[in-house]
Amino acid sequence: MMDVIYLGIVALFVSQNRGFEQTQPRLITPLHIISFGINNFLIDVSSMRYQYEAYEEANLS
């Protein structure tokens, strides 16, 4: 009887750990992709602003 309870507890922990490994990337990778895209967009916008300021200075002089 104790062996069955012990095996049930082990199976519960194994299934929880396996489920955690399967669901965790699905939660993390979209957030990583979104934050990566936002960071790249902000870098592009700031570099375009600096290029435009340099372009204006070159045309004014």
What tokens does 1 get?
């009887």
What tokens does 53 get?
């300021």
- Domain ranges, residue 42: 1-60
| Predicted TM-score (pTM) of this structure | 0.35
How many domains does the chain fold into?
A: 1
pLDDT for position 10: 72
Radius of gyration (C-alpha) of the chain in whole angstroms: 26
Q: Looking at the predicted structure, is the pLDDT value of residue 18 above 80?
A: no
Name the one residue in this structure whose structure tokens are 């916008």. Answer: 45
pLDDT for position 54: 83
pLDDT for position 46: 80
